[in-house]
Amino acid sequence: MSYVDGFVLAVPTANKEKFIAHARDFDPVFLEYGATRVLECWGDDVPHGQVTDFYRSVQATEDETVVFSWVEWPDKATRDAGMKKMMDDPRMDPSANPMPFDGKRMIFGGFSPVFELGG
């Protein structure tokens, strides 16, 4: 079964085009190392919650937009091998390819799908 890496981050709203440009440079590397799909989603209808919400999860400020992204892999073994290659790839060095957001506030994790409809 497939495997999914998920990401939530806060991007300065003024950096939307920089974020898209960064994704155009960075995301093809996921595909190069075995991912089957990458999706970057700019927050459009993200409510503020009473107890928890996406904004609090990444300490987003009023001048930031929450971004939700995921990478689909054919399986966990391909993901593990691909992520190791990415970490060793000089194109992923933040000094060579700076992120247009505060990477320290990004939350991420790997997930094993347990149910799927469609697609």
Domain ranges of the chain: 14-61+74-111
* Burial (Cβ within 10 Å: 0-12, 13-18, ≥19) of residue 57: middle
What Å distances lie between residue 39 and 11, 24, 51, 119, CA to CA? 16, 11, 27, 14
pTM over 0.85: yes
Residues paired with 11 in a beta bridge:
65
Residues paired with 32 in a beta bridge:
none
CATH architecture for residues 14-61+74-111: 2-Layer Sandwich (3.30)
Q: Do 4 and 73 form a contact (C-beta atoms < 8 A)?
A: yes
Q: Do 3 and 95 form a contact (C-beta atoms < 8 A)?
A: no
Work out the average pLDDT over 2-14: 97
Model confidence pLDDT, tens digit, residues 100-116: 899 899 999 999 999 98
**Model confidence at 76: pLDDT above 80:** yes
